């Protein structure tokens, strides 16, 4: 008996990630594409959320902090990313949460 699910079943071992192929057909800058793919690497497969710091993104992508900030803003403006903030129970800021979207999912 065959069981069908809506979940992606992949035979690969751990340490892989996915993102939409159409990212390469966009007018995004190379830095925005690189950061989008890095965030996809960090993201939970179900929620498509990740929360690396600006410093981590810059270090792992071999680019400067200002370039990371510009690329994140580009991704947010074009609907490929939604940024929100995480706080402790005491109301102290801890990190940004980046939710990966397709542009039509923006909102």
Q: Which H helix or E strand runs over 33? A: helix 30-42
Name which of 25, 34, 42 is nearest 70 in CA terms: 34
Could you list the beta-strand ranges (E) of the chain.
49-50, 81-87, 93-100
State the Cα angle at 99 between 104 and 40, rounded to 5°: 100
Q: What's the pTM?
A: 0.79
pLDDT digits (tens, 9 = 90+) for 33-53: 999 999 999 988 778 999 999
Q: Cα–Cα distance between 12 and 5 in angstroms, integer?
A: 18
Both structure tokens of 39? 């965030």
Instruction: Delineate the domains of the chain, giving CATH numbers in brackets.
Output: 28-105 (1.10.10.10)
pLDDT digits (tens, 9 = 90+) for 23-33: 899 999 999 99
The mean pLDDT of 66-71, rounded to a whole number, is 98
């Amino acid at each position: 008996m065959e069981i069908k699910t809506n979940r992606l079943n992949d035979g690969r071992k751990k340490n892989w990630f996915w993102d939409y192929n159409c990212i390469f057909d966009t007018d995004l800058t190379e830095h925005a594409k690189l950061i989008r793919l890095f965030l996809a690497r960090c993201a939970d497969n179900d929620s498509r959320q990740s929360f690396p710091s600006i410093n981590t993104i810059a270090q792992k992508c071999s680019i400067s902090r200002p370039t990371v900030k510009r690329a994140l803003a580009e991704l947010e403006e074009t609907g490929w990313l939604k940024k929100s903030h995480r706080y402790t129970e005491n109301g102290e800021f801890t990190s940004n949460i980046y939710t990966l979207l397709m542009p039509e999912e923006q909102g």
